[in-house]
Amino acid sequence: MSVQFEFLGPLKQLVNGQDIVEIQAATVGEALDNMKDLYPGISRRLLSDEGLLHQHINLFVNEDDIRYGNDLETRLSAGDKVTVISAIAGG
């Protein structure tokens, strides 16, 4: 199934400056995995050595922070919108 990934600000460079990327995947983790051939370096820069979403990055599925849910295991459905944005904000 196809979902839309949007990268904001400096994170756009991960997908060659595109605003929206369409990806087929059943979970967030799988989506990131599927992107790595098209966009080399994306896994290394979004995921930590332990394979977790990097602490400086937030990822929202339909506006919900995946860290409050199932993290990279969060399931995706057709038409979902995923936003990837820097977590260095606030306080």
- Which residues contact other proteins (rule: CB under 8 A)? 8-11, 13, 45, 48, 50, 52, 54-58, 60, 65, 67-68, 83, 85-91
Nearer to other proteins, 11 or 35 (CB): 11
Minimum Å gap between C-beta 14 and other proteins is: 9
Nearer to other proteins, 45 or 75 (CB): 45
d(CA 23, CA 2): 5
The amino acid that residue 75 corresponds to is: R
Minimum Å gap between C-beta 50 and other proteins is: 7
Nearer to other proteins, 1 or 19 (CB): 19
d(CA 34, CA 49): 18
* The token pair that represents 91 in the structure block: 């306080």
Give, in degrees to the nearest 5, the angle at Cα 52 between 74 and 40.
Answer: 95
